[in-house]
Amino acid sequence: MEISVLMSVYIKERPEFLERALESIFNQTLKPKEFVLVKDGTLTRELEMILHKERKKFEENNIAFICVQLENNMGLGIALQKGLEKCRSDYVARMDSDDIAVRDRFEVQAEYMQKNTDVSVVGGYISEFIEEGKSLRTKTMPLNHDELYKYGKYRNPLNHMTVLFKKKDVLEVGGYKP
């Protein structure tokens, strides 16, 4: 299964977090076909340097590195919509610029989607941390359709930065359009 990874970055991101997020994408057991990054406005020199270095590494390993530049900071929803429109794979994995994905995340999620063709989106738990090795908490989520439906009446039943979804299904319901 081919996947695109979609991420947005803006000027206030911490360079060291972005670098670790990109490394966790690059080190996946199932490599993405492409990485689509939306620059939501002007970035710092440090962020640009990290992107330049990582772009080279991705491209040397046959992972397309697609940048979408927004003139001004438009916010996450608009940035992700612009990026989603550039994704060429049928499946899209979301990552935030301060996320670290477990090494087999894409592989596990892709296998589940292939075995369960009626499923449009999968997600996962997250561990929040303040520094290396110091986890604050693990945010668990419902695991089956009925639990997701019930939970979704009151709050978002998915940790957005953990989702892998069918692009066409998300676009059919409006994507990230406000």
Architecture of domain 3-117+159-172: Alpha-Beta Complex (3.90)
Phi-psi region of 141 (alpha: psi -120 to 50; beta: other; left: phi over 0): beta
Tell me if the pTM is above 0.85: yes
Residues of the chain with CATH 3.90.550.10: 3-117+159-172
Q: How many CB atoms lie within 10 A of CB 116?
A: 10
For the chain, 178 residues long, give each residue's pLDDT as a single digit of tens: 999 999 999 999 999 999 999 999 999 999 999 999 999 999 999 999 999 999 999 999 999 999 999 999 999 999 999 999 999 999 999 999 988 999 999 999 999 999 999 999 887 765 666 666 666 656 666 567 787 677 667 766 565 577 899 999 999 999 988 7
> Hey, which residues does 32 pair with through a beta bridge?
none
